[in-house]
Structure 1
Amino acid sequence: MKETFSEEEYRSREVDDGSVVATKKPVDKRRLLFKIDLFVLSFVCLQYWINYVDRVGFINAYISGMKEDLHFKANDINITNTCFTVGYILGMIPNNLILLVAPPRVWLSFCTFAWGLLTLGMFKVTSFKQCCVIRFFQAIFESCTFSGTHLILGSWYKENELPIRSAIFTSSGLIGSMFSGFMQVEIHDSLDGRRGLAGWRWLFIIDFAITMPIALYGFLFFPGVPENSSGSSSFSMTRFFFSERELQFARRRLPARDESTRLDWSVVPRVLKRWHWWLFSFVWVLGGENLSLASNSTFALWLKNQGYSLSHRNNFPSGIFAVGIASTMLSALYLNKISKARHWHVAMFLAVTMCVVAIMVRSNPISAPVMFTAQYLGGVAYAGQAVFFAWANVVCHADLQERAIVLASMNMFSGAVNAWWSLLFFPASTVPHFEKGSYALLATSIASGLVSVLIRRFQNKDRYGEQELPYIDANDMPHDEDDDDDN
């Protein structure tokens, strides 16, 4: 089928006899990158932002009256979080594989819509068991977001572009975490008791109202991936913003990959025989548990234990996310702007920093200055999300199916460990000392640094054994015969 182009996709070229013929106008690379950022990055960031607003909203609701209203006991909050983690684990790989065969525009938008409905259901809960069930199914749909987005980002952006975009994406979730805390304070102050509903119930209603427009935006404007865009769909706006040549260019501008690989049983030996799946999964298990001090809301629980007010319990933890945003962006700028920067450099910095945090928590957990400093400093661990997943995207680029499984497995195994890690090392009953948790954090910090060095050694070994292909500008690619017929 012959490819057609609009008038503005052609330029005039004068030949030797003075006549003028039409030739294809080169794709404007900066304009295309701007479009990708505008329609791809905007949706995944909005989706991750509301994902964390919804997710952190639960712990904000818990410390804002849910615990007392639903009669939570002892470690019930940890059990509820574990139910969420189990659902997250079970949905991880299936969601990433679905993104390889179904339009990402449809699937990601549907998942956003589904967890939004479940968030609305939270405002009607009357028991701890109902919370466990809803959180479990919320997690199944939410598990499409993080690793699925990294898979999509790796299909649009080059190696030097990935760190900044991965950092922006990760930061959007942290902004959502901050926003949720501030929002809960305002909701409690203005809506608590309105129409007979507690403030924490209003939080879930408002979260739902914010989630629905984002799901609709993705369904209409998100283009998916260059290889499987939604431009032909009558419900998609992609065809109005991206030409077919721009989508082809977007794919060709990335390094070549093995097009012979398929999503079938051959992917199993391909994944298992390489070191990528083993070491990246292991390093993010460790990196994820370096985050456990922050991700298990230990600061909010500590503040409640020490008698801080409701507004302080919701607002003070936001500083952790602010540090996470700053460290994530600085790490990305380092990788993007410094020619000799490497992913493992950031990994080692994070490992050393988290060792310091663990020592501080263990030394004097009752001291407010020590705990505030340790908790805020621990926010730098969030930078690992962008760094390790961008690193895996680069290393696994040549095999799309392997990349999908590696990215999902990193998050899946980290979640699998966190399902019992929080119960064992950071249960609510250990507030305010976190003795076992501080020792566990020290161990995972040291181990993550060592594994990062090992990954770098294997990466260098692979590069020495491969012949690097020269970069070819996609505008210089030869046209197909059908295309030549148009000129």
Structure 2
Amino acid sequence: MDAIRRFVWGPPPETKTEAKLLRKIDFAMLSFVCLMYWSNYLDRANLANAYVSGMKEALGMTGDDLNKVNTCFTVGYTIAQIPQNLALQFVPARILFPLNMVTWGGLTMVTAAAKSTSHLCAIRFFQGMAEASTFVGAHYIMGSWYKEDELCKRAAIFSASAQIATLFSGIMQASIHTSMDGLHGLAGFQWLFIICGLITVPIGIYGYVCFPDTPERNRSILFSPEDRALAIARVPKRPETKLDRTVFRRVLGRWRWWLFCSIWIVGGELESIGSNALMALWMKNRVKAGEASWTVSDFNYYPNGATVVSIVSLLLTAMYTDWNKKRYHVNLLIAVVMIVSASLILAQSQLGHGAIFFAFYIAGVSYAGQSSNFSWANDVTRHDEQERGIILASMNMMSNAFNAWWSIILFPANHAPKWTSGMISIIVLAPIIVVLSVAARRLQLRDQRREADGALMPGGDGDGEGADADEKDAESLASEQP
């Protein structure tokens, strides 16, 4: 029983005092970042649900207009990534996060008044800027509080909160479309945006009052001075590093920035089936072609199967990688599953609807990379705070920079039902993420062995390494099979 508990939730804290502190951290810190991400993703999911629930017709949207709106969001999100997340080095997160939430919520409510695709593009651009600190900022803060064997499970719960929002959004849209469509002259999708925006206000207030920021800057009313001291002492001590001109050499002169950004560029695009709401678009296309008789409610309910798969995948893979410390295994799993999913969608003319539902559902596994890859990056950059912040932000920024044009070219709404070019791109990207992940794992092991032998300073770039260390690495790396 103890072995099962260790696998599911990690080894127990060393003392009762530490156990109490960990519960307090989960309550105050993890609960807020999950609620924040949940509310952000609720509106992201609502846009796709609104599109298939009357917004397309109401705003006269055609062709790839939905992709253009999503791209405007991505551009704003990408531009603000590094500035927003570097701001966390100076601005308390308990101020920055709630401020962005209030901005986000206000823009969400304004979306209900949009009269054209151009209005949507402008609103989504600024929403992207307001959300830029949420995902990476939360991973940065979590990496400051949790030990390595505690981190990925919490990161998975955080990522799962977005998928729960997607699940909730479909049910919410279907219910509002049924009960509120036409109320006070507003369409159901307009009420959806108004309600979603209002939800963010109490969450923002909760964050301002209770969110503890990093252990060193913790001013939350829930933590005593003793709690703050223990929170700092329980995680490995980090060397003092500064945000100065050496940061470029420290970041760009090491392998971590290059490989983790490349991994997440590919990993982000492997999420394309879910992130572009392809299942709902496919269902609407099949109805239009006369091959099915699904309703608006069905468009919102049936894709939830993929969301459930993503939540389960996030949690199970997080337990596994916190247990064996091999985060890269998740990318190998994603590669295999996505090849199967894309192949089935390409072959849909020879298959029934059940097989295509299965293909869309298993694509939810692609989201497991969110917790594993960002936890992995947190693990290997713990010795340099500025490198850690820049790499986490760069991973998300580079992925979204690619996604800004990738989805327009390869997954436009009018390429339904097969998205042939997009599915081929997924099949090509799958082996690439395997190669990148294995390379990053081997370099991680090399650094760990050099550090243990004293040939590499913690978090260093390899200066002063000798030939003997290289020979020892070659022998030890050859013994590990990825």
The interval holding the TM-score normalised by the smaller chain is 0.7 to 0.9
- TM normalised by structure 2 equals 0.88
- Percent same amino acid among aligned pairs? 45
The 2-side partners of 1:414 and 1:165 are apart by 22
Q: Which runs of structure 2 are paired with 1:54-203 in the superposition (5 Å)?
A: 54-203=43-192
Hey, what does 1:438 align to over in structure 2?
A: 423
State the Cα RMSD in Å.
Answer: 1.3
Per the alignment, residue 253 of structure 2 pairs with: 273
Q: How many residues in Structure 1 have an aligned counterpart in Structure 2?
A: 433
1:34-78 per-position Cα deviation (integer Å, ceiling 9, x unaligned): 000000000000001111111111111111101001100111111
Write the distance in 2 (CA, Å) between the matches of 1:349 and 1:445.
Answer: 10
Partners of 1:143 and 1:75 lie apart in 2 by 24
> Residues 367-423 of structure 1, C-alpha deviation per residue, up to 9 Å, x if partnerless?
312211111011000100000000000011110111001001111111011111111
1:246 matched to which residue of 2? 227
**Equivalent of 2:278, from 291, 298, 303?**
298
Matched, 1:398 2:383: yes
Report if aligned partners of 1:105, 1:218 keep a CA contact under 8 Å in 2: yes
Q: Distance in 1 between matches of 2:356 and 2:412?
A: 17
- Is 1:310 aligned with 2:299? no
Matched position secondary structure for 1:100: coil
Amino acid at match of 1:427: P
Out of 347, 350, 364, the residue aligned to residue 379 of structure 1 is 364
Q: In structure 1, how many angstroms separate the alpha carbons of the residues matched to 2:132 and 2:171?
A: 25
Aligned to 2:460: none
Code of the residue aligned with 1:304 in structure 2: it is K
- Following superposition, the deviation at residue 355 of structure 1 comes to 1.3
Match of 1:448 among 433, 439, 451: 433
The letter for the 2-side match of 1:175 is I
> Which residues of structure 2 form unaligned runs of 5+?
1-14, 288-293, 455-482
Q: What is the aligned counterpart of 1:415 among 372, 376, 400?
A: 400
Tell me the CA shift for residue 468 of structure 1: 8.2
Residue 463 in structure 1 maps to residue 448 in structure 2: yes
- Looking at structure 2, the residues matched to 58 and 183 of structure 1 have their Cα atoms a distance apart, in angstroms, of 12
Does 54-63 or 359-368 show the bigger shift?
359-368
Aligned to 1:255: 236
Letter in structure 1 aligned against 2:225: E
Judge conservation of contact 1:27–1:245 (CA < 8 Å) in 2: no
What residue number does 1:484 align with? none
Q: Which amino acid aligns with 2:245?
A: W
Q: CA deviation at 1:341?
A: 5.0
Q: Given the alignment, which residue of 35, 40, 55 partners 2:29?
A: 40
Partners of 2:35 and 2:257 in 1: CA distance? 29
Q: Does the 8 Å CA contact 2:148/2:322 hold for their aligned counterparts?
A: no
Q: Give the Å deviation of 1:467.
A: 2.8
- CA deviation profile, 1:292-314 (whole Å, cap 9, x unmatched): 11101111110111112101101
Gaps of 5+ in 1: 1-25, 232-237, 470-487
User: Which residue number in structure 2 is paired with residue 336 of structure 1?
Assistant: 322
Using the TM superposition, give the Cα deviation of residue 445 of structure 1 relative to its aligned residue in structure 2, in angstroms: 1.1
Contact 2:76–2:129 under 8 Å retained in 1:
yes
Letter in 2 for 1:125: A
Secondary structure, counterpart of 1:462 in structure 2: helix
Find the aligned partners of 2:345 and 2:325 in 1 and give their Cα distance.
Answer: 31
Q: Which residue of 2 aligns with 1:346?
A: 330
Whole-Å Cα distance in 2 between the matches of residues 434 and 124 of structure 1? 32
CA distance in 2, matches of 1:448, 1:219: 39
For residue 397 of structure 1, give the secondary structure of its aligned residue in structure 2: coil
Residues 151-190 of structure 1: per-residue CA shift (max 9 Å, x gap): 0000000000001101100001100011011000001111
Deviation at 1:361, TM superposition (A): 1.5
Which of 283, 305, 309 lines up with 1:323 in the alignment?
Answer: 309
1-structure distance, mates of 2:413, 2:117: 16
Instruction: Report the AA paired with residue 448 of structure 2.
Output: R
- The ranges of structure 1 where at least 4 consecutive aligned residues each deviate by more than 3 angstroms after the TM superposition are none
Q: Which amino acid aligns with 1:182?
A: I
- State which structure, 1 or 2, has the greater radius of gyration over its C-alpha atoms: 1
CA distance in 2, matches of 1:468, 1:345: 26
